[in-house]
Structure 1
Amino acid sequence: MGLRSFIIPAVDIKNGKAVRLFKGDPEAVTVYGEDPVSVAKQWEEKGAKHLHVVDLDGAFEGKPKNINIVKEIVKTVSIPVEFGGGLRSFEAVKSILETGVKKVVIGSLAYQNRQEFEKIVSSFPEKVIVGIDAKDGKVAIKGWLEKTEYTPLDFAKMFDDMDIWGFLYTDVNRDGAMVGPNIEGTKYLAENLKHPVIASGGVGSVEDIKKLYDLKKYGVYGVVVGKALYEGKINIEQLED
């Protein structure tokens, strides 16, 4: 698998548009496309092998708000789509998977309702990615608004023996800032967990991608990239497949 397959473009949806937030701040929004479906299609045409779709309205409000757009994305592209944002119940997860989404990212629910989370994992084995959003070294939930007492590794260890697909580790302080990913934090997580880890947050250049790619041997599967793609700092089509 080359660098092109390692990158997972992010399509973040807010108020029906494709956007990026700066450091997880719902007020610091940049709109990159009026139509998230055509944005998703564009990344596929440029050579992306999978997509990371986030319902930001859902993340802040506690239930998916842009399900029709997600359905259209899944119908329009032929590459796998993983989805997160507001998945806080079994029913919400079931509905999203019925759209054809391949994997779901769950963070807050895993922390708040272990019983419901276990029901989801046993019903949909290897479909769940546990979202670990870290802010100042602690896991944050509810759209990054509330910090827990857990470190990323302590949090991940609670789920590492379950039949999940893996983990998505986001350093929220770096997200959308293009200041470089948290290499040490990502490596530390991956080498201490059984399941694969997807990195996210801070990527600003091809060099950043290469540094994360070098962590594959520790269990880093890929990296979600948003702003650096939208602003042309990284061109998927120029990367080796």
Structure 2
Amino acid sequence: MLVIPAIDLKDGQCVRLRQGRMEDSTVFSDDPVQTATHWKEQGARRLHLVDLNGAFAGEPVNGGIVKEIAAAHPDLPLQIGGGIRDLATIESYLNAGVQYVIIGTQAVKHPPFVAEACKAFPGHIIVGLDAKDGWVATHGWAEVSDVNVVDLAQQFADDGVDSIIYTDIARDGMMQGVNIEATVRLASSSSIPVIASGGVSRMEDIVELLKVADTETGGGIMGAITGRAIYEGALDLAAAQAYCDRY
């Protein structure tokens, strides 16, 4: 299982939000490229990048920084989400060296776009499903839909999606622990591998996710995204990845 550091970009800086609220952010660095270098040196095998401004704007805002990170670390797989609404944006990121592109809002508002993107760029599309109490949220989590997260995930079963990132909004940035039950429920209902996100804040979360990664889930839990915990030192990235490698 991969332990994936998150680099959330807001106004050109690395920040972490609490429950997705743009007004409740903590700045951790004003040098995103150096931050990427740091996590790579700590053993990261993939980075999770989010263009927070782009998620609200509906188009890339921090795309230039993402491309700088890709250029600086061509051998480090990157996945990017936030403001990705069309094939041209996906193509631009992939051409810049980004490995995976995350479709979030568009997957909810226009599910056929996922199949279209998978066909155009096979092996490079991730679906991001962010949920509050089981209901999918969109537009940078500003809107909660009437779409059930499990029902939506099942719609993409035959599209060729690489994986699904599942984020529990209520726990994101709150250092309260990952929602194991909801993550397992989603993974068990889908043949698509799941990447857990939201609340991954200590080694115990990694241990618990590993216990169910392959034994209780269908597609399996292939990774866990962590942000505030590694920035504040509550979780040691190198130790967590090493533990996963031994498991």
Query: TM-score band (shorter)?
Result: over 0.9
2:185 partner SS: helix
User: 2:82 is matched with which residue: 64, 82, 85?
Assistant: 85
1:147 CA displacement = 1.2
Asked whether 1:135 is paired with 2:135, we answer no
Asked whether 1:175 is paired with 2:172, we answer yes
Q: Deviations over 1:122-144 (max 9, x none)?
A: 10112111111001220001111
Partner of 1:51: 47
- Native 8 Å contact 1:6 1:213 kept in 2: no
Asked whether 1:94 is paired with 2:91, we answer yes
Partner of 2:236: 235
Partner of 1:28: 24
Q: Deviations over 1:164-223 (max 9, x none)?
A: 101000001100001011100000111111110000001121111111122220200000
Structure 1: how far apart are the matches of 2:138 and 2:187?
A: 21
- Native 8 Å contact 1:178 1:202 kept in 2: yes
- The one-letter code of the counterpart of 1:178 is M
Q: Deviations over 1:22-41 (max 9, x none)?
A: 00101001000011110011
Higher mean displacement: 143-152 or 179-188 = 143-152
Count of residue pairs brought into register by the alignment: 237
Structure 1: how far apart are the matches of 2:44 and 2:225?
A: 11
Partner of 2:63: 67
User: TM-score, normalised to structure 1's length?
Assistant: 0.95
1:115 CA displacement = 4.1
Gaps of 5+ in 1: none
Partner of 1:10: 6
Aligned-CA RMSD value: 1.2
1:158 CA displacement = 1.0
Asked whether 1:212 is paired with 2:212, we answer no
1:224 CA displacement = 0.4
1:10 partner SS: strand
- The one-letter code of the counterpart of 1:188 is R
- Native 8 Å contact 1:135 1:147 kept in 2: yes
- Native 8 Å contact 2:177 2:200 kept in 1: yes
Structure 1: how far apart are the matches of 2:7 and 2:211?
A: 25
Partner of 1:125: 122
- The one-letter code of the counterpart of 2:69 is I
Distance 1:104 1:173, change over 3 A: same
Asked whether 1:108 is paired with 2:109, we answer no
Q: Deviations over 1:3-58 (max 9, x none)?
A: xx520000000000000000010100100001111001100001111100110010
- Native 8 Å contact 1:200 1:223 kept in 2: yes
Partner of 2:199: 202
Gaps of 5+ in 2: none
Q: Once the two structures are aligned, what percentage of the paired residues are identical?
A: 43
User: TM-score, normalised to structure 2's length?
Assistant: 0.93
Q: Deviations over 1:92-119 (max 9, x none)?
A: 1111111111111111111222343332
- Native 8 Å contact 1:47 1:236 kept in 2: yes
